Amino acid sequence: MMQNKRYCQLNNYKLVTYSQAWAYQRSLVAERINNPSLNDVLILLEHPPVYTLGTGSTLDFLKFDPQVSDFEIHRTERGGEVTYHCPNQLVGYPILNLRYYQQDLHWYLRQLEEVIIKTLAQYDLKAYRLPELTGVWLEGKKVAAIGIKVRRWITMHGFALNVCPNMSGFEQIIPCGIANKPVGSLAEFISDITVDQVRVKVAEAFAEVFQVELIEHNYESATLKAII
């Protein structure tokens, strides 16, 4: 359990390629393995259109042939099946040292879900979990996907919240391998909602759930290229 409130650097980016964000996460994890006293980091950003697969994901959930497709696809070290990222979907990558919280991956997944649930509660939306399934649902539709990797108790990857994206990209896959439950977005429930509005509320909920003090940094995407 966490004894004292920790500082967490909040890095806000706009549109960042998946490869850049992935490399950045790995660099942050490596730094914290070498120096566990470093502050935690929460990265909030959007990605250009991209499909990602978890380490053990099956290609059966793709509705296209990845060998001849023009879609950008990455197989990553996170858990979970295939998912889709695109602009106007808010993606969060927490780099946390769970030794300062709880060394329990199920606890961590439930905390990430709680961040989304509390975020949506700020819009008077009653989001919820489903037993045996990771993620967050709203009126029968999955609005947030979660997939993580933990190395020496340092976390990477994280969550994706559909704010107001073009949902057509999800039609090319069986999202998260769940064929009988549709995906949805917050725009179906709140008109004129934007990612910039939601990222503020996600940060507030994250600070509350994990009991951290956020140190905010806002960057242009070009800054991330310089870092990695």
**Catalytic residues, which ones?**
176
Return the closest-CA partner of residue 22 out of 87, 95, 88, 81: 95
Please tell me what DSSP assigns to residue 122.
T
CA–CA separation, 140 and 127 (whole Å): 9
Residues in the chain: 228
CA separation, residue 167 to residues 15, 17, 23, 135, 143 (Å): 17, 19, 26, 17, 11
Return the closest-CA partner of residue 79 out of 133, 120, 128: 133
